[in-house]
Amino acid sequence: MATAKKPYSLADAGWKDDMPNKLHLLPLLQPPKDAYNALYAPIHLWPDEWQLKAEVAFNAKENSKENFYQQNWMATKHVFPAAYPRSHPQSVFTPGKEFEPKMNFNVDLTPAELKQKRKDDIKKGLSIIQQVDLEPFVPAKSEQEANERAKVLAQSGQPQLWGCVERIASFRERPKGKPITIVLAHATGFHKEIFRPSVQSLIKSFETQNTYFIDEIWSLDNFRTGDAGLLNAPFVGPAISSHDIARDIQQFIQFYLPIRSASEDKDGFDNYPLHLKRQECGRAREDRTIIAIGHSQGAATLLMAINAVAKANQPKTQLVDGFVAFDATFPIRESLLLQPLPHNESNVALTLVRKDVFIDKNDLMEYLNKVPMFKTFDDRVKKLYADYGFKQVKVANKGGEESKKTFLIPKISKWAEALSFCQLWLNCWTSTEVQARNYNGWTHFMVSTFIRDFPDKIVAEVYTFCEQVAKTNSPSITFQYVEKGHLYPLEDPHGFGRDVAKVLHEKLLGSEHEPVTKPTGIEKVIGYVRSRL
């Protein structure tokens, strides 16, 4: 394995200024029949006590006389095969060859011991990062080369990884108007359930007088996080490519999004098994209006998938009809070309020194309410992060017998999260794909104060890029400055959902249309009386 120079640049990785800008993602292949986990997701890796039945995601109609299933939006969990093969040889490995250090469950360290542990963890993390070969990350120069790479990787014995998605829908009678399907992608280190409060606010704020209605929501786990992270943890290596995350999104929308949406499915949730059925490529797109919403890395990978997959005069390659991107994290290619690659050192270090073993839920919540990054989160988001972002483990004692003592640890290890942060430079091809304009839907960039005022020029340039590309390509691309922090969707999900609802009103109904305020009880009575006169 080649050892990359430090600091290294795209040029060190083989990128030349005269190379094509086009991002050629690897094609989506079917795994060999004998590939590990090829047929079924290894759901035995999920805790036994987990229920796979529908659960209440949120209540969207408070004080309603409708029955339980009509006033509540229900969530179900589903799995689908992740993109195959993975783009980098070090993205996967054979079980038993774990690259992550073993967890230290000693929660009684002295301040001096804790300080030393943090130093050691940073050293271990940087050592893992430096083991990743840089060259295979560089995209293929042509579609033919991408096809050839995929064939070689598919024959290398890679296991099949799995994606996990949450579907949120209600059993209400079909509303009037055109149904909308929402697809969500979260920020690094979080999970699919984290969007529930924002979606609740979006649904309550979105009223179009029977023109459109939100039919169902599909929220994706990153393959290293949440429930997907548990399925894939024994099989993933240190090379985490955002190009593969984009391909996972493509795989879900093109092949595993069910053909019929919630309002067209008389059988309700019974028609959606745990393992989603493979469909004809693009079949589900024919009868759906799909709006994607992404935050941070989720926004960047959605943006990458939507634009890199799209081809002129090929409708099946148009993944969505519209996209709202909040603080998409993608450096501009030209800025990275000959500069040292940013490894997000501050985020990597903060992740590696983060506490990752908790005695119980109270210990975890006390930590979340104290640490600056988490304490500003909305209480509902904080609870969702604790409930769905961590797993309970039992630790064996020295005698080898299983101890009754349990701990809570993150579903995504801090090592994997740090590796995700340090490879965000791969998102630089997003900027070239957006400028290529092969995607024929609309895009709305929401960029925060955090990005605009960031001291690092490479990050701050995203603000300028989004603003300028919107001026050049309006109205298909629009731009909005949001005077909020980078974690706005997590700190104020009600405000974020309301802001997204305003964007959807403008995009679907025209900029002159203001969101409709739902009538109060007395206004409904007056309206009824007038209708009878």
Give pLDDT, residue 507: 94
Record the pTM: 0.89
Out of 30-34, 120-124, 269-273, 504-508, least confident range: 269-273
Q: Please tell me what DSSP assigns to residue 423.
A: T
Please provide residue 427's backbone torsions phi and psi, each rounded to the nearest 5 degrees: -75, -5
Residue 7: per-residue pLDDT? 46
Work out the average pLDDT over 215-239. 93
What is the predicted pLDDT for the residue at 267? 54
Closest by Cα among 277, 97, 264, 76 to 179: 264
Identify the pLDDT of residue 496: 98
| pLDDT of the residue at 207 | 75
The confidence score (pLDDT) of residue 398 equals 59
- Per-residue pLDDT tens for 373-409? 899 999 999 999 999 999 988 887 655 555 568 899 9
Integer-rounded Cα Rg, in Å, for the chain is: 23
Whether 19 shows a pLDDT value over 80: the answer reads no
Span 15-38, mean pLDDT?
A: 84
Mean pLDDT of 441-452: 94
Sign of torsion over alpha carbons 297, 361, 384, 273: positive
DSSP state of 97: -
Rounded to an integer, what distance in angstroms lies between the CA atom of residue 76 and that of residue 262? 12
Q: In what order do the strands lie in the sheet with 322-326?
A: 55-59, 72-81, 162-169, 212-220, 178-185, 289-295, 322-326, 442-448, 477-482
Q: Which of 45-54, 60-69, 130-139, 390-399 is predicted with the least confidence, judged by mean pLDDT?
A: 60-69
Q: Confidence class of residue 344 from pLDDT cuts 50, 70 and 90?
A: low
- What pLDDT does 514 receive? 43
- pLDDT on residue 386: 96
Which pLDDT score, from 0 to 100, does residue 523 have? Answer: 39
Residue 334 has pLDDT above 80, yes or no: no
Could you tell me if 192 and 412 are in contact, meaning their C-beta atoms sit under 8 angstroms apart?
Answer: no
Backbone dihedral angles phi then psi of residue 273, each to the nearest 5 degrees = -70, 170
| Token duo for residue 381 | 């988001």
For the chain, what is the mean pLDDT? Answer: 84
- φ/ψ of 203, rounded to 5, equals -65, -40
Q: Which class is domain 43-339+423-524?
A: alpha beta
Please state, for a pLDDT cut of 90, what percent of the chain lies above it: 52
Asked if residue 94 has pLDDT above 70, the reply is no
- Continuous segment of H or E residues that includes residue 125: helix 111-130
- Give the residue with greater pLDDT, 498 vs 3: 498
The H or E element that residue 55 is part of is: strand 55-59
Q: Is the pLDDT of residue 1 over 90?
A: no
- What value does the mean pLDDT take over residues 56-85? 79
The residue-averaged pLDDT of 460-475 equals: 91
Residue 371: predicted pLDDT: 92
CA nearest neighbour of 487 among 385, 405, 337 = 385
Question: Which tens digits make up the pLDDT trace of 114-157?
Answer: 889 888 888 888 888 878 888 888 889 899 999 999 999 999 99
Residue 194 has pLDDT above 60, yes or no: yes
